[in-house]
Amino acid sequence: MNIKIIKVTLLCIILLLFDLIRPLGYSLNSELAILGIFFLAYNLDLNHSLLLAAFLGLCKDSFSLDRFSFSAIEFPLLCILIYNLSSLFIFNRRPSQAMFIKSIIVFFCLLLHAVYSSLLNRVFDFYWSLSFIFQSYLIWFMINYCLKQLVIYEKTRN
Amino acid sequence: MYLPSRFKPRYILFASLIVALGFFPLKQPLKALFLFLSDKPHFLAKSLYQQKNQNLESENLALKLQIKELEHFAHENQSLRKALKLAEAKGISIQAADIITFSPTNWRRNAFLNKGVNDNVNIGDIAIDENANLLGKIVDAGNETSQIFFADDPEFKSTAFIGEHTFGLLSGNLTGAKLLYVEDGENINSGDTVWMLIPGSQLIIDVGKVRNVQKNDNSLFWDIEVSLFTRKHISKRVFLIQ
């Protein structure tokens, strides 16, 4: 198995574990597992990202204490959405434009996740949802910039 | 050499924007991170004195509850009620439990505890924090573990009081809680304490403070928003009243 896939898998599992143990309680208004899904959707090919997203969704559903939890379906669907939107808008663009479009796609996916979760749990709070989206967005940027160097790029020394 | 006077204003503006964007949405998490790190030495040393510490904390909490109870009844008919409640309060016991895992979704506020039926934990037991404020309620109990709904969980429901006689149904809404079906809300003001009675005893625990009071013309009931006293569940220990 490719070393990159193992690294991304480990990263996603660590993010899911952080969601479960919550060292900062509920003061951090973000779901790290879904940020891991965005990360793998952008850094792995579609087949691997779908498989991994389904596995992570299944793990999340298993640990979830709720009656209804459909992350095993939601995560692969998000992967397909990111893949399709990216191939539609990012293809053949300059890196700066691609980064901007990538950010918009992540924002859109976070918005979708917030709406879906609000409907599923029958609770809606505008400012709370806004805080969720912005905090998740910032953490995604951090993950994308800080961990990408560690996980994706191999160190090349001659 | 880079002196502050030689910085270009646009760089300062850009840096300020980044700091502002990063700081404001992440203000609460950063605060929690500092609290978590300041609590870390205690967290690492807890295995040494865990049991002893748990017992002491439970005893301390029971005493705090009794003090609260005494303070509350000082406003009412003093001697007779106090004696009665103290006698009843002796029947309860408080047990410490630790949180194993939280729910991975942010739209719920529930967790698994490391105590179950084998430790006399039952469905409906009320959980409080180290300051004797309401934390949540046990909704499911297995042999070794149990499940708790925190007070800000959307499915948490319990009766709560404001003042002497006004009561309603306390229901969580992620950012705090709401008191539903309150008919006589004319005398309720922002800042009033919300409290509840432990079922089966006459113990009183604080829930939070009234944040906002509103009356909708089309509704019979008042809309009362409550801000809870609990600290976003940063502490991983709960105390169960049995």
pLDDT of B122-141, one tens digit each? 998 999 888 888 899 999 89
B172-181 burial by CB neighbour count: b if 16+ within 10 A, else e?
bbbbbbbbee
Which residues on B lie below 8 Å from A121 (Cβ)? 105, 107-108, 154
Q: Find which of B24, B34, B37, B106 to mutate to test the A interface (most A CBs within 10 Å of its CB).
A: B106
- Give the start-to-end residue ranges of the domains of chain B: 9-242
- A121 to B154: CB separation less than 8 angstroms, yes or no: yes
Q: At residue B229, does pLDDT exceed 50? A: yes
Q: What is the pLDDT of residue A158?
A: 42
Contact A24 B234 (CB under 8 A): yes
Contact residues, chain B, for A117 at CB < 8 Å: 105-107
CATH number of B9-242: 2.40.10.350
Mean pLDDT on B68-90: 58
Under DSSP, the state recorded for A124 is -
Note whether B105 contacts A: Cβ–Cβ < 8 A. yes
What pairing do the DSSP bridges indicate for beta strands B237-241 and B134-141?
unpaired
Tell me the three-class secondary structure of A59-74, residue by residue: HHHHHCCCCCCCHHHH
Tens digits of pLDDT across chain A (158 residues) = 688 888 888 989 999 999 988 888 888 889 999 999 999 898 888 888 999 999 998 888 888 777 677 888 999 999 999 999 988 887 677 777 888 888 899 999 999 999 999 998 888 888 899 999 999 999 998 888 887 777 766 555 44
pLDDT score for B86: 45
Residue B10 confidence class, pLDDT cut points 50, 70, 90: confident
pLDDT interval class at B83 (50, 70, 90): very low
**pLDDT score at A144:** 84
Provide ipTM, 2 decimals. 0.84
- Residue in A closest to B43 by C-alpha: A23
A→B interface, C-beta within 8 Å: 16, 19-31, 33, 60, 63-66, 69, 117-118, 120-123, 125, 127-128, 131-132, 134-135, 138
Distance CA B132, CA B238 (A): 10
Tell me the sheet residues that pair with B148.
B111, B138
Q: What are the CA-CA distances from residue A10 to residues A5, A16, A24, B146 (Å)?
A: 9, 10, 21, 29
Are A24 and B29 within 8 A, CB to CB? Answer: yes
> What sign has the CA pseudo-torsion B181, B186, B192, B198?
negative
Contact B107 A121 (CB under 8 A): yes
Say if the Cβ atoms of B31 and A27 lie within 8 Å. Answer: yes
pLDDT in tens, B178-187: 998 888 888 8
Given an 8 Å threshold on Cβ–Cβ distance, is B102 in contact with A33? Answer: no
B25 close to A (CB below 8 A): yes
Taking the C-alpha atoms of residue B116 and residue B122, their distance in angstroms, rounded to an integer, is 7
CA distance B238 to B242: 13
Contact indicator for B65, B205 with CB cutoff of 8 Å: yes
Looking at residue A2, its pLDDT comes to 80
Residues of B in contact with A31 (CB under 8 A): 104-106
CB-based contact, B114 to chain A, within 8 Å: no
